[in-house]
Amino acid sequence: MLPQKQAEEAIVPNFNETEHEGKEEERDEEHSMLSVKNLLWHGGSAWDAWFSCASNQVAQVLLTLPYSFSQLGLLSGILLQVFYGLMGSWTAYLISVLYIEYRSRKEKENVSFKNHVIQWFEVLDGLLGPYWKAVGLAFNCTFLLFGSVIQLIACASNIYYINDRLDKRTWTYIFGACCATTVFIPSFHNYRIWSFLGLGMTTYTAWYLTIASFTHGQAVGVTHSAPTKLVLYFTGATNILYTFGGHAVTVEIMHAMWKPQKFKYIYLIATLYVFTLTIPSASAVYWAFGDELLNHSNAFSMLPKTRFRDAAVILMLIHQFITFGFACTPLYFVWEKVIGMHDTKSICLRALARLPVVIPIWFLAIIFPFFGPINSAVGALLVSFTVYIIPSLAHMLTYRKASARQNAAEKPPIFLPSWTAMYVINSFIVVWVLVIGFGFGGWASMTNFVKQVDTFGLFAKCYQCKPPTPPVAPAPHH
């Protein structure tokens, strides 16, 4: 396949053409069993979007949720997962509505999006103006940058439990080079097989954690005292806020669909599936090990080394590589647009242009190797605005006038057919996340983060590693 054609096929055409193109593509799909290329590479259906959302939502955070349960307690952990999961699904729905509104308006102006991927900051610019564009761009890029950093940290943390002959910092160097190969994946349109495999890998890991914990049984003298401190409680809560805030790439996933209008409820359905992975696994590990998890942010560290654990570690490593690509691809697009390479047809040239994006991610992962605490800090300071507050405010401001509501491309959903009710829910989300997520969560997560810096230092060589066993002195000869 020629690089030019590959690049062109990675972009969805005009919204007006979407129905027609979708029918053609779906007709091609019926014959795609004869074509490995189409089967593995060309993803744009609702199923592809579902796999992308579910796969991207629960990656390394699956391993830190037991740690959060040890801070929150079992009941709060489960309730907050359901609460933030539904809240995240709602704001993902708002983002999809705003995307359709933006694209519909541009369609009326005969704007073409051929060879151009629409991004969230462009939606904000088109609907609300340049100031909103700047805010959206700043928060979204910073969040995705640290989201990529977290995946890299997780790779080093996980592989250490298979091979501890190298320290975690050295593994970070190695996996940084491996993850840099994601520059060759043109867009979310080309993540079909990766999303499918990624979700399968996470599903295995989640059920391994559940079964292995119950098989292991409760540790001797296990205690379940959480919640005990406010700082720990809100740190755990913001990690769950982060868990269900993975829809910073919603617009890019929608743009890769043949029929973006079908996206509206996909994120909710993906979240319901994710509940079947996160709630049983986190509950089981916390039941087995209790308060001991407070000093072990990676659930793998609690379970004995077996071939099943090694398989779970390897599968999570592959999945984290995929999720790194998910988080980094929107950054690649932004960088391409900044340097004027976004319209370039050659995949190799685009890959070369994207490489500078990986360097700061690599560097930050080496500076802050705090697997677990960094999730909460990113959740409080970045996710709270990027995927909860900004979409809610943007939706309210876009439809603040009666004429905008009357001419809306997407009316209120069937289950909530009232603009007033939508405004009430959006206002609640803004206030709740601003006060609880950003306010209390920011205080708690940064307090915990600073504690990790004070304890382990920046550029920590091997975060939360067991100290080496001192050599046994030979017995004196008489």
User: Helix H segments across 109-167?
Assistant: 120-128, 130-159
d(CA 253, CA 294): 36
d(CA 280, CA 441): 25
d(CA 202, CA 241): 19
Rounded to 5 degrees, φ, ψ at 455 are: -80, -45
d(CA 378, CA 254): 24
Kindly report the pTM of this predicted structure: 0.84
Quick check: 56 and 151 in contact, CB under 8 A?
Answer: no
> What are the extents of the domains in the chain?
55-110+126-456
d(CA 226, CA 121): 40
Alpha carbon separation from 1 to 37, 182, 260, 415 (Å, rounded): 9, 19, 26, 46
d(CA 250, CA 246): 8
Distance in angstroms between the alpha carbons of the first and the last residue of the chain? 78
Which among 404, 59, 83, 106 has a CA at the least distance from the CA of 246? 59
CA 23 from centroid of its chain's CA atoms? 30
DSSP string, 397-452: HHT-SHHHHHT-SSPPPTTS--HHHHHHHHHHHHHHIIIIIIIIHHHHHHHHHHHH
Which among 462, 470, 471, 469 has a CA at the least distance from the CA of 161? 462
Cis (ω within 30 of 0) for the bond into 227?
yes
d(CA 316, CA 145): 20
Residue 227 has which token pair? 């919640």
- Divide the 478 residues of the chain into consecutive groups of 10 and give the mean pLDDT of each group: 39 46 47 54 78 83 91 94 94 93 87 80 92 92 87 82 79 84 79 84 94 94 90 90 81 84 89 95 95 89 91 89 85 88 82 89 82 77 92 95 90 88 96 94 86 71 60 53
146 CB-near residues (< 8 Å, 6+ apart): 364, 374, 378, 382
Angle of helix 347-367 versus helix 130-159 axis, rounded to 10: 70
User: Cα 321–324–325 angle (5° rounding)?
Assistant: 95
The domain 55-110+126-456 having CATH identifier 3.40.50: the answer here is no
d(CA 80, CA 439): 17
221 CB-near residues (< 8 Å, 6+ apart): none
Which among 202, 93, 149, 201 has a CA at the least distance from the CA of 365? 149
- pLDDT score at 467: 60
Residue 348 has which token pair? 């190799």
Q: State the Cα torsion 170-175-180-181 to the nearest 10°.
A: 140
Sign of CA dihedral 424, 425, 426, 427: positive
Quick check: 91 and 358 in contact, CB under 8 A?
Answer: no
- pLDDT score at 19: 45
Quick check: 245 and 379 in contact, CB under 8 A?
Answer: yes
